A and B are shown apart, each in its own frame.
Chain A
Amino acid sequence: MDDFWFEFVEITQSVGDGFLFGSTYALIGIGFTLIFGAMGKLNIAYAATAIAGAYSSLAVFMLFDVSLVIIFIVSAICSAILGYLVYLACFRFIPVHNHLAALMASVGGLFFIDEGIVHATRGSPLNFPSMFSEAYFEVGPYGIRGDLLFVFFIGLISTGVLLYVLFRTRLGLATRAVAQQDVAARLCGMSIHSTNSTTFAVAGLLGGIAGAMTAAAVGILSPVMMLPLTIKGLIVTVIGGLGSIPGAIIAGLFVGSFENVVMYFRGIDERDMYVVALLFIFLVFRPNGLFGKTITRD
């Protein structure tokens, strides 16, 4: 009976920690889904720009020893700039209906950024300042890590700000209009390219925050984080439903919990296998994800 209780506590602890960490996946998922919602295309280089943002904020930190608020801001801004560049390089000049070419181009962008970082850092992982890591709250048999709580909090605030921008500002309105009917939007005088590049920049801001969050929670920054983050971000986006922000949030938190519990039972080597398997189950039984809009474009 004691053993069962112990197991139970351990499992729910994993779920809780994973849930908090899942906020990073949620943000990445939102970023992917924003771009998909606005343009109908996937930006495979997205998670890479997020991590790259975290790297630039680390560089700033190492040079100027700034406070952690600045770190997040720098990461967000750099990631947004990088996101805009990715838009120019991989999406702006490719014919709108050609999803293949844009996808391939963004894959090229992913490799480019990945290699670029590897060269800049000589491939070795770097320590990222972790925040509130000494804080540790004990609630009954559970321990809540301060750094995870902090990360979750940032995620919450960012999402709140994003939703405010999307639904209460003109920019957000324009983005949603373009997402729903780009021909009509153009006829109303909206510039597709400036709206799309703004979407990329906004997604980039989110990504930069997510990148810094991930690095802060894990304590390390390494280029090998790019690919798993990309794939998990994609999985979250798909499970949540392409184009759906609430879906991405819920899916992100869910995947975070899920993978942590799996890791508890099967160890870190097998963990990602199960996350991927989760994707299949969704694709077979609910290909539109939880809240997917079937985006029909002609």
Chain B
Amino acid sequence: MDYYLNLINTIGIHTLLGLSAYVLLLTGQLSMAQAGFFAVGAYSASVLTVIFGWSILPAIGLAMLITGFLAFLVGFPALRVRGLMLVVATLAFGEFVRLFFHNFRWRVTQDGVEVGPDGTMGFSEIRYFAEHGWTSWEVASLIWIFVIIVMALIWWADQTRSGAVLRAVGEDELAAGTVGIDVTVVKVAAMTAGGVIAGLGGSLYAHQITMLDHHAFTVLLATFAIAYPILGGVSNVFGTLVAVIFIQGLLVEGLRFLGDWRMLLFGALIVVVMNLKPRGLFDSQTLRWIKNVLRLRLSRRLS
């Protein structure tokens, strides 16, 4: 049972990661920095609960604020670089964060035991849930309540004018400016929102897995983050969720019997999918096709 709960938790946390990249992708910004924000959230929340003894929700809250603020700061220089250059810049940022935490030491002694992030030795003993008697079900519920809230918020925003504005910027920045949209505000806001969501995911991840090591926050994680919305398409949030379930559930876990060949397959799969469906698995054309098919089926049922 615990094995499946673990998988469900991973899917939930990765969905948050994917959604953070999704929001940015809507505005046309492909960001490889989400793993970096994820890491910042993870370490911030853990420092707050472990070293300062904060309770989990306030810790997550402050971690989200910190990450959001950092993302806000990153948002501005990010405006100066376009397309591929942004990918390089955000890739580099992610690496910087990883290396930073790889060297980050903040040890305190509590009850005779040394705790806290220990540079190259990582950050272990993030035992908030265990120490406060949380069951695995409660942890999973917490994670998924957040996932559902974030998905609902993004879905709701997409029904409003703000969603259309975000997408307009993603489609054509020049035209967007010409119809009165302040592209700078939109892009920086998207970066900030993406950072907050990634920070949330990271905070939950740290406490669920109880230890942090810089190896968790490499380019691989950054790639997962953007793979989800690219694979799932940017038409709506459910695409990202499906992509996470597909990649994590099927690939990483389901193909466990293939052992270490999974990564090979993952790489090959990305190549194949990108060649077959360059606009993502669930682009707007595919969605309309699905809708039409469903409508046909329904009308046949009713008649």
Query: Contact residues of A with B, CB < 8 Å?
Result: 36, 40-42, 89-90, 93-95, 98-105, 107-116, 118-119, 227, 231, 234-235, 238, 242, 269-270, 272-273, 276-277, 279-280, 283-284, 287
Give the chain B neighbours of A90 by CB distance below 8 A: 271, 274-275
Interface membership of chain B positions 243-283, coded 1 if the CB is closer than 8 angstroms to chain A and 0 otherwise = 00000000000000000110110111111001100110000
- Which of B11-19, B85-93, B149-157, B190-198 binds A? B85-93
B220 close to A (CB within 8 Å): yes
Bound Cα distance from A108 to B260, whole angstroms:
16
* Chain B count of residues within 8 A CB distance of the other chain: 42
State the Cβ distance, A55 to closest chain B Cβ, in Å.
Answer: 16
B262's nearest neighbour on chain A, judged by CB, is A115
The reply to whether A272 and B274 contact each other, CB–CB distance below 8 Å, is no
The reply to whether B99 and A105 contact each other, CB–CB distance below 8 Å, is no
Bound Cα distance from A196 to B129, whole angstroms:
55
State the Cβ distance, B26 to closest chain A Cβ, in Å.
Answer: 13
Give the chain A neighbours of B120 by CB distance below 8 A: 269
Give the secondary structure class of A's interface: helix
Give the chain A neighbours of B91 by CB distance below 8 A: 231, 234
Tell me which of A95, A111, A115, A287 contacts B278 (CB under 8 A): A95
State the Cβ distance, A235 to closest chain B Cβ, in Å.
Answer: 6
The reply to whether B85 and A287 contact each other, CB–CB distance below 8 Å, is yes
The reply to whether B99 and A112 contact each other, CB–CB distance below 8 Å, is no
The reply to whether B81 and A98 contact each other, CB–CB distance below 8 Å, is no
The reply to whether A111 and B266 contact each other, CB–CB distance below 8 Å, is yes
Given contacts A273-B96, A280-B77, contact A115 B274 (CB under 8 A): no
State the Cβ distance, A177 to closest chain B Cβ, in Å.
Answer: 22
The reply to whether A279 and B271 contact each other, CB–CB distance below 8 Å, is no
Tell me which of A118, A273, A277, A283 contacts B77 (CB under 8 A): A283
The reply to whether B270 and A105 contact each other, CB–CB distance below 8 Å, is yes
A40's nearest neighbour on chain B, judged by CB, is B84
The reply to whether B92 and A279 contact each other, CB–CB distance below 8 Å, is yes
Given contacts A105-B275, A272-B99, A276-B96, contact A284 B80 (CB under 8 A): yes
